[in-house]
Amino acid sequence: MLTVRFLPLLAGLASTLSAQSVPAPTVAPNAPRVLRAARVLDGTGRVLVRQDIVLQGGRITAIKPSVGPLPAGGIDLGDRTVLPGLIDTHVHLGWYINSQDKMHTDGDGDAPGVSALAHAANAWATLRAGFTTVQSIGEADNAPLRDAITRGHIPGPRVLTSLGSLNERTRGGSPDSLRAAVRRFKQMGADVIKIFASKSIRDGGEATMTPEQLQAACGESTALGLRSVVHAHSAESAQRAARAGCTQVEHGVFADDTTLALFAERGTWFDPQCGLVFRNYLDHKPWFDGIGNYNAVGFAAMEKAIPLAEAGIGRAARTKGVKLVFGTDAVAGAHGRNAEELVCRVRRGGQPASDAIVSATSRAAESLQLGKEVGRIAPGYMADIIATAGDPSQEIEASLRVNFVMRSGVVYRFDGHSIAAGGR
Ligand SMILES: [Zn+2]
């Protein structure tokens, strides 16, 4: 029987789980266990039918055609479609809606405990939706969240985080001071460096960092073995990032054919958004209205960006050599809705469904330099496995119907079956 657990502290969040009890385990805790699946999308575009996935010690040890009865302690996933846990390369787990029904900001009166629990709730919502690894473009307070999840104290996806960000004014903005800022993030334990190289889409998105500044920030990141992820909307800012050797460009609403060709030439990862982030802001204006650039001009700019963003997904998907990766920019209100972006990319952007799934599994893992650890269902990989009602490679909306979630061999969700509490 698989280990299933969640922290009693968060038991309220799991109220949707069934209250029936699970029979006591009948196999040794470290014995190999089998997940039986009618259909497996392996994360690279391959589809396998009637497979047994063998798990041990939190990893996949074998995958083979199902033969004979299911061994003791196995789980039969019936007609579900099984795929690797999804990966979102751009979320903000620390953003949430506060006690006054507004986007949380520093000094809004929320006690630190309230914020910490909101972060944990975002992590749990994300995991329940089938996202087992995320890159949280966050603040310093993402570190305790990441570490509590790693230690198994609270349920959540595997978290990589930037712990903050750089822009053209950081420490005065000289190349040397930007390099020093990168080193400081590394010292703090950042997994990735986040750089703002253009204005927000709500302010027009023009370039803000010079080529020299980007070379300093991205060059220092590379020298320290860290990836650099760059917010860039205008073609000029995105091109500067690619030329400076930055690892990944985010957003790129105004990325044109020249920019895409440069991404392909330089091997720059590209993570444009199709719709979830914009829709979340526009559908819930009262949560954001009046905070910073969330005003009438800002909302109008986002409304205008939607058709460009949708068309941009298709253009990127069709440009040979562009490494199109999945990231939602999930902010307050969007956690747990990450798969809506997959639906947008396929239905509105025209990306083929099977490619969209690869971009959120093996390709996303590769972008995070975790390509040998997660993002595939294959021997040696972490047992990050989810299942959906329906086949998302045929009907992308099935990605919204996740009903089984396992991360590192632990089951966190299995609809229709009970989950035993076993926190520590
Ligand atoms: Zn973001």
Span 184-233, pLDDT tens digits: 999 999 999 999 999 998 899 999 999 999 999 999 999 999 999 999 99
**Distance, CA 247 to ligand 1 centroid (Å)?**
16
**Distance, CA 280 to ligand 1 centroid (Å)?**
13
The string of pLDDT tens digits covering residues 356-415 is 999 999 999 999 999 999 999 999 999 999 999 999 999 999 999 999 999 999 999 999
**Distance, CA 100 to ligand 1 centroid (Å)?**
23
Cα gap 119→138, rounded to integer Å: 11
Residue 15 has pLDDT above 70, yes or no: no
Residue 3 has pLDDT above 60, yes or no: no
Mean pLDDT of 148-167: 96
**Distance, CA 341 to ligand 1 centroid (Å)?**
14
What pLDDT shows up at residue 73?
87
The string of pLDDT tens digits covering residues 272-310 is 999 999 999 999 999 999 999 999 999 999 999 999 999
**Distance, CA 91 to ligand 1 centroid (Å)?**
6
What pLDDT shows up at residue 418?
66
**Distance, CA 267 to ligand 1 centroid (Å)?**
21
Residues of the chain with CATH 2.30.40.10: 8-84+374-414
Cα gap 35→342, rounded to integer Å: 26
**Distance, CA 322 to ligand 1 centroid (Å)?**
21
**Distance, CA 230 to ligand 1 centroid (Å)?**
10
Q: SS3 for 130?
A: coil
The CB density around residue 165, as the number of other CB atoms within 10 Å, is: 18
**Distance, CA 277 to ligand 1 centroid (Å)?**
9
What pLDDT shows up at residue 416?
86
Rg over alpha carbons for the chain, rounded to the nearest Å, is 21
Mean pLDDT of 17-26: 46
Q: In the CATH hierarchy, which top-level class contains the domain 86-367?
A: alpha beta
**Distance, CA 370 to ligand 1 centroid (Å)?**
21
**Distance, CA 253 to ligand 1 centroid (Å)?**
13
**Distance, CA 329 to ligand 1 centroid (Å)?**
5
CA distances to 240, 306, 362, 403 from 36, rounded to whole Å, are 48, 41, 21, 15
Residue type, 97: I
Task: Look up the CATH superfamily of 8-84+374-414.
Answer: Urease, subunit C, domain 1 (2.30.40.10)
Residues of the chain with CATH 3.20.20.140: 86-367
**Distance, CA 196 to ligand 1 centroid (Å)?**
10
**Distance, CA 200 to ligand 1 centroid (Å)?**
10
**Distance, CA 331 to ligand 1 centroid (Å)?**
7
- How big is the CA angle at 289 (ends 284 and 294), to the nearest 5 degrees? 105
**Distance, CA 26 to ligand 1 centroid (Å)?**
46
Residue 11 has pLDDT above 80, yes or no: no
The string of pLDDT tens digits covering residues 36-77 is 999 999 999 999 999 999 999 999 999 999 999 998 889 999
The string of pLDDT tens digits covering residues 232-250 is 999 999 999 999 999 999 9
**Distance, CA 76 to ligand 1 centroid (Å)?**
38
Task: Please answer whether residues 1 and 27 qualify as being in contact, where contact means their C-beta atoms are separated by less than 8 angstroms.
Answer: yes
- pTM over cut 0.85: yes
